[in-house]
Structure 1
Amino acid sequence: MSTEPPVIPGVRRSFVDANGVRFHVTEAGPADGRPVLALHGWPQHHYLWRDLLTEPPAGLRIIAPDLPGYGWSGPAPHRWAKDDVATDVLALMDTLDLDRVLLVGHDWGAFIGYRMVLRCPERFDGYVCANMAHPWVRPETMAPHLWRFWYQVPVATAGAWLLRNTKALNRLFRGASDLSPAEARVFVDRFRDPVCARASRDTYRTFLTRELPAATRQSPPPRVTVPIRAVFGYRDRALHPDMVSAETAKADDYTVEFVDATHFVVDERPEIIRAKLVELAEQTAAA
């Protein structure tokens, strides 16, 4: 197992302390460019954004941190409640002097992105969201698809041991993505680190025991004014297209594009993510 981050040509790396987390942060593009904050999901890290980091769109500064406990960031000082992670990332933005950003997120990174957009809309010019249910999904819409979350139970219970042995993660990537074995290995091997394995366990344990039950009792979140461009790989085995429907999204400016990809749409269709980001940057240039 390599203990060094994967090589991405031209990327600047740093460690930034914010809210009790030692973030590993990767950046590319002009230092004075328009900032784009890119948040990865599970079971990945900053390398998810290798396409944008290798060749940043003109005028954009791509900033892709490893979330607490993942990749090369230090452990989370909490049990990975998503609102706590959102607070960590907002603190990172403060430390980096990022008043406003364009946001792009995938999987849990996209979930956290929604939490931040709902909490602090004034800090986000626009949001590209990849393969994550929007926060206005009603329980009656979610209920028929809860069986899709079966994989979360072993991660939440035996997760730390299971992931450090990596066989389960290798099977997940083989069965649920179009990634090559070499691409998958960049992500899988990192979970041999007990910090990463524990972060995974806590991510799902907190979701299943606290956040999912709470979501069935709470009222839907308020309407969002931040422009949202959702991208959804319709071969996703964990999420259903109904969970990203424009008809149920309480947002002033929300669109969704369904594409031929698995849950790992950022890896498999990076050109679509790039196009959505560039388009949104142009549309919000005067924001």
Structure 2
Amino acid sequence: MELDRRAHIRGRVICPDIRGLGWSEGSGGGYTFERLARDLVELMDRLGVHRARVIGRDWGLVVGYRACLNWPERFGQFVALAGVHPWTVDGVRPAVFTRPWHVYTLAALGRSRSLQATLAARSLRAWRHHGRFSDAEAAVYLARMRTPGAHAATIDFNRNVVLHEIPHFARHYRMIRLRVPTLHLNGASDPLSEGVPNSYRDYADDMRLELIPECGHFVPEEQPQWLADRLLTFLD
């Protein structure tokens, strides 16, 4: 992939893992959106970064939204990739709740390691539209999912989403306003895209929702050049 030469001089890039996922060790709790967003801000404080532009994909998207809603003065711009926005319940379509059925399954039965592994492998296949993950690429994802920290984090995270976060936003979305300029990008063939409404327009100062052609849920892997070009344009 050839990136615009401007990309490497734009600024410092920091790529943290979400608590309990990737190469982080995780913890015995703290998997609410509020706590995960606070992790991000506390990391910025530790690194001496007062203000940043943030990009979050999938669960990183919800962390980014919560951080921008809670601390808008800390973020200049936000790019959300592959997920729903906080006002989805306003104008929601059934597909938003039926397509990610694995979230509910993991919340209820996630203690089964074999179930977690099976659903993770299935998601890598079913939620990608353009291209396929090689066996080696899939092995990197799945190896991290099999660690004790990721296993426990997956249980806590999905249960928190089902039991607390969805009910919370369903009750309070009218009182939430986004002040940070935001670009929300979903793959046109992402299973979630069909049900994400345009209701955000009533609750955000400067936000747009765009669909990426020939793309499923794994935006950076499926359309890297398209994404790089769009990010450079938006973040310029």
1:191 equivalent to 2:145? Answer yes
Q: 1:257 matched to which residue of 2?
A: 210
Q: Is the 8 A contact 1:57 1:278 kept in 2?
A: no
1:124 equivalent to 2:75? Answer yes
Q: 1:220 matched to which residue of 2?
A: 174
**Partner secondary structure for residue 68 of structure 1:** coil
The one of 155, 162, 174 aligned to 1:201: 155
CA shift for structure 1 position 160 = 3.9
Q: How does 1:162-201 map to 2 (within 5 A)?
A: 162=113, 166-177=117-128, 178-201=132-155
Q: 1:81 matched to which residue of 2?
A: 32
Stretches of structure 2 lacking an aligned partner (at least 5 in a row): none
CA shift for structure 1 position 214 = 2.3
CA shift for structure 1 position 128 = 1.1
Q: 1:4 matched to which residue of 2?
A: none
Give the structure with the higher percent helix.
2
C-alpha distance after superposition, 1:260-284 (max 9, x if no partner): 21111122112232223212332xx
Q: 1:65 matched to which residue of 2?
A: 16
Give the structure with the higher percent strand.
1
Question: C-alpha distance in 2, partners of 1:219/1:270?
Answer: 32
Of 165-174 and 63-72, more deviation after overlay is shown by: 165-174
Question: C-alpha distance in 1, partners of 2:188/2:100?
Answer: 16
Amino acid at match of 2:148: P
Q: Is the 8 A contact 2:186 2:210 kept in 1?
A: yes
C-alpha distance after superposition, 1:9-59 (max 9, x if no partner): xxxxxxxxxxxxxxxxxxxxxxxxxxxxxxxxxxxxxxxxxx99xx95323
Q: Is the 8 A contact 2:182 2:207 kept in 1?
A: yes
Distance 1:266 1:101, change over 3 A: same
Q: 2:165 matched to which residue of 1?
A: 211
What TM-score do you get using the length of structure 2 for normalisation?
A: 0.86
Q: 2:45 matched to which residue of 1?
A: 94
Of 253-262 and 70-79, more deviation after overlay is shown by: 70-79
**Higher RCO (C-alpha under 8 Å, 6+ residues apart):** 2
Q: Is the 8 A contact 2:90 2:197 kept in 1?
A: no
Question: C-alpha distance in 2, partners of 1:104/1:180?
Answer: 25
CA shift for structure 1 position 84 = 1.0
- Give the paired residue count: 230
Question: C-alpha distance in 2, partners of 1:119/1:154?
Answer: 30
Distance 1:236 1:221, change over 3 A: farther
Question: C-alpha distance in 1, partners of 2:34/2:166?
Answer: 13
Question: C-alpha distance in 2, partners of 1:215/1:225?
Answer: 17
CA shift for structure 1 position 254 = 1.5
C-alpha distance after superposition, 1:119-159 (max 9, x if no partner): 11111111111112111223551545311231112211332
Stretches of structure 1 lacking an aligned partner (at least 5 in a row): 1-50, 283-287
What TM-score do you get using the length of structure 1 for normalisation?
A: 0.72
**Partner secondary structure for residue 196 of structure 2:** helix
1:155 equivalent to 2:109? Answer no
Q: Is the 8 A contact 2:87 2:199 kept in 1?
A: no
Distance 1:221 1:134, change over 3 A: farther
C-alpha distance after superposition, 1:82-135 (max 9, x if no partner): 111111111111101110111111011011100011111111111111112111
Distance 1:143 1:172, change over 3 A: closer
Question: C-alpha distance in 2, partners of 1:105/1:130?
Answer: 6
Q: 1:19 matched to which residue of 2?
A: none
Q: Is the 8 A contact 1:155 1:201 kept in 2?
A: yes
Q: 1:240 matched to which residue of 2?
A: 193
Q: Percent identity?
A: 30
